[in-house]
Amino acid sequence: MRRMTCRRVLTSVLIASCWLLPNASPAQGQSGSYRMGSPYGQPPDAGYPPFFSGSAYPEGDLAPLRGPGMGPPQGMSGYGPPPGYPGYGGPGGRSGSPPPQNGRFLGMGRVGQRLFGPPGEQERGPIFPDTPAVPYQTATPSTAVPGVGYYGQDGIVTRKIPDEESWDEDGPVERFISTAFKNSFFRTEYLFWDITDPSGLRLGAQLAGNVDPDNIALLDGNNQVVALGRIPTTDRLALNDNSGVRLTWGIPTLMGGDFEVSGFILEQASDRDSATDIPDFNSLIPRVVVTSTTTNGQAGANVFVYDTSYSVDYKTDMWGLDTKYIFDVMAPEEGLRLRPFLGVRYMSLNEMMTQRGVFTNFGQNVPLTSLIESSSYNNLFGGQIGARLEFVHPWFTLGAEPKAGLGLNKSTARVQTTNLRSLADGEFTTEQDDTRFTPVFEGRLYAQIHLTDYFSLHAGYNWMYIPNLIRANNIIDYNDNGINNPPGVVVDSKTSDLTIRGLSVGGEIRFR
């Protein structure tokens, strides 16, 4: 690029020098053969006739101009305006010079140089190519054939030097990216998934004796039954019908397989269960909700009572990313295809459960609102292995994709209580970090309908099973160490299983 710029500057200097010599008169009596000069300069021994200058051509020795453009000098064939051009002349798109009057030639210069005549006469063209009898092309710097001149937008015949890369040419990396994108695909799916409900657990400790957890007799100082309590459960909490989106992008590789990147995210799944049997101040034996605890780690009869209101809120957030390289082991264009893959994945599963109870001693005391908040954070990462089995038809594709993730789960469990027994307790937080082996088993069945070569409809059923993780409903140790000690409801990071399943629908765009 720098060499081409320097040459154009030299050409401009030559044009300017010719312009400054308008009174130069043709030499008399000169004869012989001549050649046109190149904008880059041809050596004298290049095999062409001598160079035409604006003042060296003798009068009367020019052949008449042919056609709308100026023809070549006598004896030089194949010289004329660019193919398809009605005439090729000076600036502004003017046509070529008219035939000379009385055999007088007005002068001409190097390629790219304006033509000039005697003082007072109008400047006129054409601009000649640099080499007679050579084919010319209409091209751009990135598409020109090296060594063959081409007509540029500036009206100058240019030759691309062989093996010289133009600044706007695509290199190997650009060509690879361009080819890869032309054969890539992008798929968008709407997810409608269910998450395993956090059901089956009592939100309290097992009491001593054969006590019915739904009918616990609460006694006063005189051993009289003053209320019937129940330990709440998570049985009525559900995490179904969660919407989400999954995006997948795939590109072919130089090794013959495909590289895919996929990510999904679900909306926050949430549910609430509120006690509807309290307050019950008018009953002879009113109903209440209780949180039962052990005493110093031993089963006993200790409970915290909520007689005015009680509720439990549950929230789940989930998202994930995975990449994989898919091998072309058996991948014909049509028919049965088997393609194993390897990759890595990451998934985040966070949950929070909040228990809120209000005690007023059946409306006689100032309300005391107590909170028990439990949070679980799972970060799963590791490798994955699987296979993609497909039956490909020009109109549709049926497929199955089982895979297993083998990795670790770096988890954090946290329990925080607020005013658990009285206002004096305030906030009390305990936390536990763990790293444990946690596999992820996943599978999907899918079908595609190919509407065009570029677009397909996609539908599938997805299933995922994750053992050995922590959930917010199963990380609480319900205990009490006495009024003179901090609250004993603390974290206890026990593991649980999780199942996710549901439908996905969407579309796939293929770039050709």
Angstrom distance (rounded) from CA 185 to CA 209: 64
Q: Does residue 144 lie within any of the structural domains?
A: no
Say if residues 488 and 481 touch (Cβ distance below 8 Å).
Answer: yes
Answer yes or no: do 366 and 467 share one domain.
yes
Residue 222: per-residue pLDDT: 87
210 and 285 housed in the same domain: yes
**Interatomic CA distance for residues 105 and 107, integer angstroms:** 6
User: Is 211 inside a domain boundary?
Assistant: yes
**Is 173 among the domain residues?**
no
In a domain, 79, yes or no: yes
Residue that the structure tokens 């179904």 belong to: 240
Q: Residue 8: enclosing H or E segment and its boundaries?
A: helix 2-19
Out of 114-123, 225-234, 487-496, which region has the weakest mean confidence (pLDDT)? 114-123
How many Å apart are CA 471 and CA 457, to the nearest integer?
36
**How many domains would you assign to the chain?**
2
pLDDT tens string 265-302: 999 999 999 999 898 888 889 999 999 999 999 998 99
d(CA 398, CA 446) in angstroms, rounded, equals 6
In a domain, 310, yes or no: yes
pLDDT at 218: 92
Q: 221: pLDDT confidence band, cut at 50, 70 and 90?
A: confident
Range with the poorest average pLDDT among 54-68, 128-142, 449-463: 54-68
Residue 162, pLDDT score: 54
Residues 197 and 81 in one domain: no
Nearest to 206 by CA among 286, 139, 292: 292
Whether 223 and 82 map to the same domain: the answer is: no
The confidence band for 340, taking pLDDT boundaries of 50, 70 and 90, is: very high
DSSP characters for 482-493?
-TTS----EE--
Amino acid 154: pLDDT = 59
Q: Which of 19-23, 33-37, 90-94, 167-171 has the highest mean pLDDT?
A: 167-171
Residue 25, classified by CB atoms within 10 Å of its CB into exposed (0-12), middle (13-18) or buried (19+), is: exposed
pLDDT bin (cut points 50, 70, 90) of residue 153 is low
In this prediction, residue 334 carries a pLDDT of 87
Same-domain status, 213 and 132: no
Does 233 share its domain with 374? yes
Q: 189: how many CB neighbours lie within 10 A of its CB?
A: 23
Length of the chain: 512
Tell the residue number behind the tokens 């051009």, with chain if given: 85
DSSP 153: T
How far apart are the C-alpha atoms of 21 and 5, rounded to whole Å? 25
Read off the amino acid at residue 339.
R
As a whole-number percent, the residues of the chain with pLDDT over 90 amount to 56
Higher pLDDT, 66 or 240: 240
According to the per-residue pLDDT averaged within each range, which of 84-88, 92-96, 328-332 is highest?
Answer: 328-332
Is the bond preceding 72 in cis, omega lying within 30 degrees of 0? no
d(CA 404, CA 375): 27
Domain final residue pick, 103, 118, 138: 138
Q: 23: which residues sit within 8 A by CB, 6+ positions away?
A: 118, 119
For residue 385, the domain's CATH number is 2.40.128.100
For 436-448, the pLDDT digits (tens) are 999 999 999 999 9
Instruction: Yes or no: say if 247 and 263 are a contact pair by the CB < 8 Å rule.
Output: yes
Task: Give the angle 149-130-92 at the CA atoms, nearest 5°.
Answer: 85
pLDDT of residue 101: 41
**CB 340 within 8 Å of CB 386:** yes
The answer as to whether 228 is a domain residue is yes
Whether residue 116 has pLDDT greater than 90 = no
pLDDT band at 142 (very low <50, low <70, confident <90, very high): low
- The answer to whether residues 100 and 245 belong to one domain is no
Mean pLDDT for the stretch of residues 489-511: 95
Tell me the residue ranges of DSSP E strands in 257-334: 258-266, 269-274, 287-295, 298-306, 309-326
pLDDT at 187 exceeding the cut of 90: yes
pLDDT digits (tens, 9 = 90+) for 51-83: 333 333 344 333 333 344 444 444 444 444 444
Residues 108 and 187 in one domain: no
Q: Are strands 239-252 and 258-266 parallel, antiparallel or unpaired?
A: antiparallel
Residues 120, 226, single domain; the answer is: no
Q: Give the C-alpha separation, 159 to 239, whole Å.
A: 71
Say yes or no: 340 and 425 in one domain: yes
Domain boundary among the residues 78, 112, 138 is at: 138
Asked whether residue 32 is assigned to any structural domain, the reply reads yes
The rounded percent of the chain whose pLDDT value lies above 70 is: 65
**363, pLDDT greater than 50:** yes
Q: Which amino acid is it at 77?
A: S
Are residues 191 and 124 both part of a single domain? no
Residue 480 has pLDDT above 70, yes or no: yes
Q: Which of 96-110, 387-401, 494-508 shows the lowest mean pLDDT across its residues? A: 96-110
Closest CA to 214 of 311, 301, 290: 290
Summarize the confidence of residues 357-374 as an average pLDDT: 95
Per-residue pLDDT averaged across 173-184, rounded?
72
Dihedral over Cα of 233, 417, 274, 287: its sign: positive
C-beta of residue 97 within 8 angstroms of C-beta of residue 125 = yes
Range 449-455 contact pairs with CB under 8 angstroms and sequence separation of 24 or more: 449/395, 449/396, 450/394, 450/395, 450/396, 450/397, 453/510, 453/512, 454/509, 454/510, 454/511, 454/512, 455/507, 455/508, 455/509, 455/510
Which of 108, 138, 168 is the endpoint of a domain? 138
When mean pLDDT is compared across 92-106, 162-176, 382-396, 415-429, the lowest value belongs to: 92-106
pLDDT for 16 beyond 80: no
Confidence of residue 512 (pLDDT cuts 50, 70, 90): confident
In terms of C-beta density within 10 A (0-12 exposed, 13-18 middle, 19 or more buried), how is residue 420 classed? buried
Q: Which of 230, 232, 242 is nearest to 199 (CA)?
A: 232
Do both 186 and 293 map to the same domain? yes
Range of the domain at 411: 181-510
Lookup result for tokens 């083998």: 406
Residue 160 lies in a domain: no
